[in-house]
């Protein structure tokens, strides 16, 4: 990565989640300097998506020119070979085996760092978010699926091949329901937004459980979504709360395995379902206290993420700032 001159005051953090791209300038301490520019790209095929990405990034460089960006930190929602800066696979986008860094650097004329989205998010939460200053942090992101990131010994841990942190594919029920990954019984099947809809649907219209009838109304209108169930639960609807608690028990099972495996100081729970706060976390935390091995069960903290949708974008920028600094140090030692 070629370092930039002393006039650099920001790095553009680029958070890619599905077809949505959010870009904002970020300073070296992780402070966001301006509201994010948000764009969407066509996902018909790899060429269409990458062309749209380049267009969005050119527009961002023009919009944020006053912040003198010196690099881009791009976070990707799939498996990344960070050493080669290549996208290996992406479950929800038609992009695979793509040398993304080289392509973007050629198109934009600036250094680019490529990082997995969840790995970037855990860096951000451990630097300026809920786990600021901690050295051993696990992020689990609960959305349509379940993702994860590992921050161990004060640095991102990616594993031997860049695939570490696939926490959604911890097996919590051997021989359980099929997962989109091809396995069965994965945490993602039981603790994702799709799972919450399934739990709510099972209660909708049951007079003994859905006493308000709100879940049944949503189901009849075709509006029974994870977000809608969450809103009802936060408003105190009994059936929706029961559905959240069912999901929370499965999350707790996953957190027990995570605690026993990594002995983290904190597990940060993010993603769309993370907004449920203690309604979701309290039952899961209780399971950790009862079932995990000591000393982790007594010491680990389970907290909601602080940065929300900005975490990947900010973490990507922080990764790029780190690489810029390392490049400069190497240049100085060789000079």
pLDDT at position 193: 95
Q: How far is CA 29 from CA 6, 33, 317, 329, in A?
A: 16, 11, 10, 18
258-291 pLDDT, tens per residue? Answer: 999 999 999 999 999 999 999 999 999 999 999 9
Residue-level length of the chain: 335
| Mean predicted confidence (pLDDT) in 192-196 | 96
Q: Decide which of 329 and 128 is more confident.
A: 128
Query: Is residue 52, in this structure, part of any structural domain at all?
Result: yes
Mark whether 36 and 145 lie in a shared domain: no
Mark whether 175 and 261 lie in a shared domain: yes
- How far apart (Å, rounded) are the C-alpha atoms in residues 87 and 71? 19
Mark whether 118 and 177 lie in a shared domain: no
Q: Where are the alpha helices (DSSP H) in 221-237?
A: 226-234
Reduced 3-state DSSP string for 74-107: EEECCEEECCCCEEEECCCCCCCCECHHHHHHHH
Query: Is residue 5, in this structure, part of any structural domain at all?
Result: no
- How far apart (Å, rounded) are the C-alpha atoms in residues 13 and 310? 9
Mark whether 170 and 90 lie in a shared domain: no
| pLDDT score of 84 more than 80 | no
pLDDT over 90 for what percent of the chain? 78
| pLDDT score of 202 more than 50 | yes
| pLDDT score of 77 more than 80 | yes
Query: Is residue 128, in this structure, part of any structural domain at all?
Result: no
DSSP 8-state code for residue 228: H
Provide the domain limits for residue 272: 134-305
Average pLDDT, the chain: 92
| pLDDT score of 5 more than 50 | no
pLDDT at position 1: 43
Mark whether 189 and 288 lie in a shared domain: yes
Helix (H) or strand (E) holding 126: helix 117-128
Mark whether 32 and 85 lie in a shared domain: yes
Query: Quick one: which of 161, 163, 169 has its CA closest to 140?
Result: 169
Q: Do the Cβ atoms of 138 and 122 come closer than 8 Å?
A: yes
Mark whether 93 and 197 lie in a shared domain: no
Query: Is residue 248, in this structure, part of any structural domain at all?
Result: yes
Most distant pair of Cα atoms in the chain: their distance:
76
- How far apart (Å, rounded) are the C-alpha atoms in residues 293 and 260? 6
pLDDT at position 135: 98
pLDDT over 70 for what percent of the chain? 96
| Mean predicted confidence (pLDDT) in 67-81 | 90
| pLDDT score of 3 more than 60 | no
| Mean predicted confidence (pLDDT) in 36-46 | 92
Query: Is residue 2, in this structure, part of any structural domain at all?
Result: no
For the chain, what is the domain count? 2
CATH number of the domain encompassing residue 272: 3.30.420.40
Q: Which residues contact 88 (CB under 8 A, 6 or more apart)?
A: 78, 79, 80, 81, 96, 97, 162
Mark whether 204 and 301 lie in a shared domain: yes
Least confident residue range of 11-15, 39-43, 148-152: 39-43
Q: How far is CA 104 from CA 46, 52, 141, 215, in A?
A: 14, 12, 27, 46
Mark whether 320 and 297 lie in a shared domain: no
317-327 pLDDT, tens per residue? Answer: 999 999 887 76
| pLDDT score of 331 more than 80 | no
Mark whether 183 and 292 lie in a shared domain: yes
User: Which SS3 state, helix, strand or coil, does residue 146 take?
Assistant: strand
145-180 pLDDT, tens per residue? Answer: 898 999 999 999 988 877 889 999 999 999 999 998
pLDDT at position 90: 79
Query: Is residue 198, in this structure, part of any structural domain at all?
Result: yes
Query: Is residue 4, in this structure, part of any structural domain at all?
Result: no
Q: How confident is the model at residue 310 (pLDDT cuts 50, 70, 90)?
A: very high
Q: How confident is the model at residue 332 (pLDDT cuts 50, 70, 90)?
A: low
Query: Is residue 3, in this structure, part of any structural domain at all?
Result: no
How much of the chain is in helix, strand and coil states, percent to nearest 5? 45, 20, 35
Q: What number of H helices and E strands is found in the chain?
A: 11, 12
Mark whether 246 and 207 lie in a shared domain: yes
| pLDDT score of 229 more than 80 | yes
Mark whether 63 and 181 lie in a shared domain: no
pTM check: above 0.75 = yes
DSSP 8-state code for residue 143: S
- How far apart (Å, rounded) are the C-alpha atoms in residues 34 and 10? 11
pLDDT at position 285: 97
| Mean predicted confidence (pLDDT) in 96-117 | 93
């Amino acid at each position: 990565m070629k370092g930039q001159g002393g006039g650099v005051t920001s790095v553009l953090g680029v958070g890619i989640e599905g077809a949505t791209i959010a870009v904002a300038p970020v300073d070296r301490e992780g402070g966001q300097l301006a509201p994010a520019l948000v764009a969407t790209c066509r996902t018909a095929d790899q060429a269409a998506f990458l062309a749209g990405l380049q267009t969005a990034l050119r527009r961002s460089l023009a919009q944020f020119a006053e912040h003198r960006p010196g690099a881009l930190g791009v976070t990707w929602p799939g498996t990344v070979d960070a050493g080669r800066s290549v996208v290996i696979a992406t479950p929800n986008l038609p992009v695979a085996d793509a040398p993304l860094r080289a392509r973007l650097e050629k198109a934009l004329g600036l250094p680019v760092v490529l990082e997995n989205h969840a790995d970037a998010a855990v860096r951000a939460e451990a630097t300026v978010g809920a786990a600021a200053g901690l050295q051993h942090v696990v992020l689990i992101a609960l959305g349509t699926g379940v993702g994860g990131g590992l921050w161990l010994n004060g640095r991102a841990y990616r594993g031997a091949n860049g695939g570490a942190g696939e926490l959604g594919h911890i097996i919590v029920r051997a021989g359980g329901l099929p997962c989109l990954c091809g396995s069965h019984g994965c945490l993602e099947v039981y603790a994702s937004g799709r799972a919450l809809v399934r739990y709510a649907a099972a209660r909708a219209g049951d007079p003994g459980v859905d006493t308000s009838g709100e879940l049944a109304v949503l189901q009849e209108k075709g509006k029974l979504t994870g977000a809608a169930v969450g809103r009802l639960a936060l408003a105190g609807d009994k059936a929706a709360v029961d559905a959240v608690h069912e999901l929370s028990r499965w999350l707790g099972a996953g957190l027990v395995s995570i605690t026993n495996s990594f002995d983290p100081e904190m597990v940060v729970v993010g993603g769309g379902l993370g907004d449920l706060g203690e309604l979701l976390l309290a039952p899961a935390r209780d399971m950790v206290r009862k079932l995990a091995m000591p000393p982790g069960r007594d010491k680990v903290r389970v907290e909601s993420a602080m940065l929300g949708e900005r975490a990947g974008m900010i973490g990507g920028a922080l990764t790029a700032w780190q690489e810029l600094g390392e490049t400069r140090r190497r240049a100085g030692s060789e000079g």
